[in-house]
């Protein structure tokens, strides 16, 4: 299945849906091949204005127009969205709802439904998402490949088994929220040391971008890269000692672990 030949419909046109639509359009997908169902008129109007796509409150119309349906509503709203979708046939459903299992989606859509579950993150808004993808029992390799191609337009997409998707949620799904306070805190430290706020914020954010690119592009372990910066009796090793004193690594580990556990808890309630 070629992505540029697929008609893609969104159930929901909020921030994450908008990010994915932006990525698809930037990759060369025609706006004529994208549509969205959105009952909240202000969001619908934004999608029409920003992307020039067809938007309606009628989910059944979106299903009729689409080969692939991306479920982009909040987990609590999925049942209602699907109940108004009408006959779904054998169309591919891709869900970005946190904690909602493929089994739950198959139960709501139909036992033979082709479902792929996806966990992107908010960085899709700048086309830098880290996305985990897992197939339901009826999804084919081609379905997974298509989902991966869609989400590769907004960043990096990797296939993950569903039993590990809660870990992905705790790591990359929630992870940007862990990094934003780090950037703010680093900038605060620089302001304390004399830099102006704007300069400090840009340098802090670029430092995080650069460090992340080094991990990805060199393939080196973060500890090896850290040691490259830590000169004997230098400024960096003093800073590392401070981070260890305040158990920063343990705090980040526990944030990811707790986020993963919360995702499991949400899934059990669905």
- As a whole-number percent, the residues of the chain with pLDDT over 90 amount to 89
Q: Residue 6 has what pLDDT?
A: 95
- Kindly tell me the sign of the dihedral angle through the C-alpha atoms of 205, 17, 68, 84: positive
My answer on whether 124 and 238 are in the same domain is no
Q: Is 14 annotated as a binding residue?
A: yes
Reported as a single tens digit per residue, the pLDDT across 140-182 is 999 999 999 999 999 999 999 999 999 999 999 999 999 999 9
Q: Is 170 annotated as a binding residue?
A: no
Distances in Å between the Cα of 250 and the Cα atoms of 83, 221, 244, 263 are 44, 18, 9, 20
My answer on whether 80 and 34 are in the same domain is yes
H helical segments located in the chain: 15-26, 41-51, 59-65, 78-83, 102-109, 141-152, 165-168, 175-192, 197-218, 222-229, 235-245, 248-269
The helix or strand, by DSSP H or E, that contains position 70, with its residue range, turns out to be strand 68-71
Q: From CA 194, how far away is CA 202, in angstroms rounded?
A: 15
Q: Residue 197 has what pLDDT?
A: 98
Residue 12 has pLDDT above 90, yes or no: yes
My answer on whether 142 and 239 are in the same domain is no
Q: What is the widest separation between alpha-carbon atoms in the chain?
A: 68
**Residue 266 binned pLDDT confidence (cut-offs 50, 70, 90):** confident
Q: Is 228 annotated as a binding residue?
A: no
Residue 1 has pLDDT above 80, yes or no: no
Domain count across the chain: 2
My answer on whether 136 and 261 are in the same domain is no
Q: Residue 137 has what pLDDT?
A: 95
- Mean predicted confidence (pLDDT) in 18-40: 96
Q: Is 168 annotated as a binding residue?
A: no
Here the CATH number for the domain that contains residue 222 is: 1.10.3730.10
Residue 99 has pLDDT above 90, yes or no: no
Residue 91 has pLDDT above 80, yes or no: yes
Task: Kindly report the length of the chain.
Answer: 270
- Kindly tell me the sign of the dihedral angle through the C-alpha atoms of 166, 168, 169, 175: positive
Residue 79 has pLDDT above 80, yes or no: yes
My answer on whether 107 and 234 are in the same domain is no
Q: Is 138 annotated as a binding residue?
A: no
My answer on whether 155 and 225 are in the same domain is no
Residue 105 has pLDDT above 80, yes or no: yes
My answer on whether 180 and 137 are in the same domain is no
Q: Is 26 annotated as a binding residue?
A: no
Residue with tokens 């830099």: 195
Q: Which residue has the higher pLDDT, 4 or 34?
A: 34
My answer on whether 144 and 226 are in the same domain is no
**End residue of a domain, out of 126, 146, 166:** 166
Q: Which residue has the higher pLDDT, 87 or 240?
A: 240
My answer on whether 215 and 92 are in the same domain is no
Instruction: Note the pTM of the prediction, 2 decimals.
Output: 0.90
**Residue 249 binned pLDDT confidence (cut-offs 50, 70, 90):** very high
Q: Residue 270 has what pLDDT?
A: 59
- Mean predicted confidence (pLDDT) in 228-242: 97
My answer on whether 159 and 189 are in the same domain is no
The answer to whether residues 123 and 129 touch, using CB atoms and an 8 Å cutoff, is: yes
CB atoms within 10 A of CB 126: 12
Q: Is 72 annotated as a binding residue?
A: yes
**End residue of a domain, out of 145, 166, 187:** 166
Q: From CA 229, how far away is CA 5, in angstroms rounded?
A: 48
Residue 132 — φ and ψ, nearest 5°? -100, 140
**End residue of a domain, out of 135, 166, 197:** 166
Residue 14 has pLDDT above 80, yes or no: yes
Q: Is 2 annotated as a binding residue?
A: no
My answer on whether 8 and 135 are in the same domain is yes
My answer on whether 143 and 242 are in the same domain is no
Domain containing 223 equals 175-267
Q: Is 11 annotated as a binding residue?
A: yes
- Mean predicted confidence (pLDDT) in 244-250: 97
């Amino acid at each position: 299945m070629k992505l540029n030949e697929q008609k893609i419909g969104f159930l929901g046109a909020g921030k994450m849906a908008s990010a994915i639509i932006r990525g698809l359009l930037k990759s060369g997908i025609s706006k004529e091949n994208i549509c969205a169902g959105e009952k909240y008129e202000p969001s619908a109007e934004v999608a029409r204005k920003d992307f020039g796509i067809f938007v309606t409150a009628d989910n059944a119309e979106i299903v009729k127009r689409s080969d692939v349906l991306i479920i982009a509503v909040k987990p609590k709203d999925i049942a209602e969205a699907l109940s108004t979708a009408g006959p779904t046939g054998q169309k591919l459903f891709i869900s970005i709802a946190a904690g909602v299992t493929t089994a739950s989606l198959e139960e709501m859509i139909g036992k033979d439904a082709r479902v792929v579950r996806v966990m992107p993150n908010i960085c899709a808004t700048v086309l830098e998402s880290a996305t985990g993808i897992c197939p339901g029992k009826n999804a084919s390799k081609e379905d997974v490949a298509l989902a991966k191609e869609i989400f590769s337009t907004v960043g990096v997409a990797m296939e993950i088994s569903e039993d590990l998707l809660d870990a992905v949620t705790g790591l990359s799904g929630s992870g940007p929220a862990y990094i934003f306070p780090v950037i703010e805190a680093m900038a605060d430290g620089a302001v304390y040391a004399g830099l102006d706020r704007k300069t400090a914020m840009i340098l802090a954010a670029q430092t995080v971008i650069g460090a992340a690119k080094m991990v990805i592009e060199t393939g080196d372990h973060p500890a090896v890269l850290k040691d490259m910066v830590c000169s004997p009796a230098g400024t960096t090793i003093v800073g590392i000692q401070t981070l260890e004193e305040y158990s920063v690594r343990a705090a980040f580990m526990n944030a990811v672990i707790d986020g993963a556990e919360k995702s499991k808890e949400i899934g059990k309630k669905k």
